[in-house]
Homo-oligomer: A and B are copies of this chain.
């Protein structure tokens, strides 16, 4: 039996909700043995049925939708501790693709036992609902980002959100974080061309707000970046209310 204490998912839920060790152990029992996925080997494909849900244990993946003309929109990047493919399970069929960015380790969630567990541990059910609501809040924020912020603000907001998420699982700080994303990936996430992503990154670097180079994001001036991007992290780390 695996323990999930001291894993990213435990860190995340503890930071936001404060589940007991016992409850975390129960959650751990819903996880099948972990599986490794290599780059180039997709987890979920658009249109697939009978899909499983996962928790990401290590590595980064991205969820995206692809269009007829070949362009794609990355909906979100998932980092350790995040759920994968929950909507695909509810919908029975996946409306998006999930692709690993780095080597990845996932645990499959045992759906059949989920409902029983929820009956016995309602706080866990609420924790799941809270986590899903948080995911939706991130998509909404992403929408605002693309719809109403200019490219530089958009990039700044994106880097800050990622930094805040990584901080919760101990993989980032107000100084910066290690980041495996490429400029083409950023372009597909932010609705820009890869060339323009490059220019925007240079811009942020030249004004001394943030530097992204060699797989490292450095916040050169965190407070100024927050002000510039109009960033408010409360949707990321706010405790759920029905859990008090």
Distance in angstroms between the alpha carbons of A91 and B17 in the assembled complex: 11
A146 at the interface (CB under 8 A from B): yes
Q: Please report which residues of chain A, range 135-174, place their CB below 8 angstroms from some CB of chain B when the two chains form the complex.
A: 136-137, 139-144, 146-149
Select which of B115, B129, B136, B141 is within 8 A of A136 by beta carbon.
Answer: B136
CB neighbours (8 Å) of A87 from chain B are: 133, 136-137
Known: A72-B148, A148-B67. Contact between A93 and B140, CB under 8 A?
Answer: no
Q: Tell me whether A91 and B240 are in contact (CB under 8 A).
A: yes
Q: In whole angstroms, what is the CA distance A143 to B139 when docked?
A: 8
B-chain residues with CB within 8 Å of residue A107 when the two chains form the complex: none
Contact of A90 among B95, B140, B149, B242 (CB under 8 A): B242
Q: Which residue of chain B has the shortest Cβ distance to A90 in the bound complex?
A: B133
Contact A140 B96 (CB under 8 A): yes
A238 at the interface (CB under 8 A from B): yes
- Once the chains bind, are B241 and A92 in contact (CB under 8 Å)? yes
Q: Is A60 close to B, CB under 8 A? A: no
- Stoichiometry, as copies per complex, reads 2
The yes or no answer to A68 lying at the interface (CB within 8 A) is: yes
Question: In the bound complex, do residue B95 and residue A140 qualify as a contact, i.e. CB atoms below 8 Å apart?
Answer: yes
Whether the Cβ atoms of A75 and B136 lie closer than 8 Å is no
Q: Does A120 contact B (CB under 8 A)?
A: no
What's the minimum C-beta distance from A85 to chain B, rounded to whole angstroms?
12
Q: A67 and B230 in contact (CB under 8 A), knowing A87-B137, A91-B238, A238-B91?
A: yes
- A212 at the binding interface (Cβ < 8 Å): no
B95 near A137 with CB under 8 A, answer yes
Q: Does A143 contact B144, Cβ atoms closer than 8 Å?
A: no
Q: Does chain B have a CB within 8 A of A71?
A: yes
10 tightest A-B CB contacts, nearest first = A92-B241, A147-B191, A73-B144, A73-B147, A73-B148, A90-B133, A68-B230, A71-B148, A146-B147, A65-B144
19 more A-B residue pairs beyond the given contacts A87-B137, A91-B133, with a C-beta to C-beta distance below 8 A:
A65-B140, A67-B144, A72-B148, A73-B143, A90-B129, A90-B240, A90-B241, A91-B130, A91-B238, A93-B241, A95-B137, A95-B140, A95-B234, A96-B140, A115-B122, A119-B119, A136-B139, A139-B143, A148-B191
